[in-house]
Amino acid sequence: MKAWGIFLLLLCLQAITYAVIGESQTCPAENVGKCDDSDWEGEFFPGINKIKYEGPSSKNPLSFKWYNAEEEILGKKMKDWFRFSVAFWHTFRGTGADLFGAPTKYWPWEDGTNSLKMAKRRMRANFEFINKLGVDWWCFHDRDIAPDGETLEEANANLDEVVALAKELQMQSKKKVLWGTAQLFMHPRYMHGAATSSELGVYAYAAAQVKKALEVTHYLEGENYVFWGGREGYQSLLNTDMERELNHLARFFEAAVAYKKKIGFNGTLLIEPKPQEPTKHQYDWDAATTANFLRKYGLIGEFKLNIECNHATLSGHSCHHELETARINGLLGNIDANTGDPQVGWDTDQFLVDIQEATMIMLSVIKNGGIAPGGFNFDAKLRRESTDVDDLFIAHIIGMDTMARGLRNAATLIEDGTLAELVRKRYQSFDTEIGAQIEAGKADFDFLEKKAKEWGEPKVASAKQELAEMILQSAL
């Protein structure tokens, strides 16, 4: 009987073993450092379910109050107006460190390294996050998703390994890359710039890095590729050949266009304007400067612009101004939805929560007919003092809700028509035969001088700015 009992016990243990093997292996966050990445199948965000729309009356911080993905506004679903994306670098590589303080964020899945194992773990966390948040897109820098290497070959091999996992996770979750890019600003080699560096070797290295990043973005079926020239500029003109640097930058972009076509990448190439920080002056200062650069070098049909709202304010403009400048030049391609602190003079990358600003942004987007294949990327980070895991969700929720309110308000303004009529009336003197001649380029100065003498001193109507602001406020 004793032997029989032992036999039964062994059978039970074997059955339990097979049952465990048949289930997904898990490695909860509290066991960080004790499991291989291949074993990590547990939740990185336990206790947080998929974020749902609960309406404006909801008091649940982990719910949408205004963003209802499937709701149609002006003939298009909300999710299609926005195409929201999560920025990998801020969400999963942001530490809370600043110029005066050490990191404050220690996510439970981090082991303190920048190893390949850790990179894969972050990638899994990224996909759980975007799945639970309910967005379809993500964005990345090459060196944020995979560790650098001692050589370019090693760096590329690291990137390939992490990207293979990202591809697998994308297929499982049906998520996509909104855009990829190469990080050409952090490594010491780029201290003088990348495509505008005074060193030929740096220029070549940057080209090789962008080549690989384009290949990876193409492999992940990304819909756009972004160039952010953080160090493409100068600190002093005393030691700078501006013309030569601008020519080099143009040649770099030309080579990128050629390689994009060579590998069959059909995504949009985007340039992200920024005026300063870290360089004193960056060559893509704002939308107008960048548009002029593209025209000068014959690249206007090859690129569009990724407008970041915080960069707009740093250049002395509103986000609405930059969007309109890009739109009327046919260059509006993507939006980095963030904002800065008006009392702070640098790029704070905060989540946009100003409903009026969101409304103005969406007026431009609606006029543009949307921004696909671009979208709204949350190039925004938690405040240094926000250190809970659920803060990652709350920050994105308020950003998405704010933009949703902006869309609703903009739709109200457009459907009402009062603001559009006010604008139309301001320019109605040009809705005449002579006005049409001017706009068609058929009225010369001799003709206009004759009319000015005939009409005498012109009457100038009120601009009705306060009325326009009243109409806007009524929609908020």
Q: Residues with catalytic annotation?
A: 141
Which structure tokens are listed for 321? 């101004």
Which structure tokens are listed for 438? 């001017």
Place of tokens 């340039």: 271
Closest CA to 142 of 40, 256, 248, 225: 225
Give the sign of the dihedral formed by CA 256, CA 261, CA 265, CA 266: positive
Which residues, including other chains, have CB under 8 Å from residue 247's CB and lie 6 or more apart? none
Residue type, 449: E
For helices 319-328 and 355-367, the axis angle rounded to 10 degrees is 0
Show the CA angle centred on residue 459, arms to residues 454 and 460, nearest 5°. Answer: 140
Element (H, E) at 225: strand 224-227
**Residue 222 in contact with residue 260, Cβ under 8 Å?**
no
Closest CA to 139 of 337, 360, 368: 337
Which residues, including other chains, have CB under 8 Å from residue 282's CB and lie 6 or more apart? 229, 230, 232, 233, 274, 275, 276
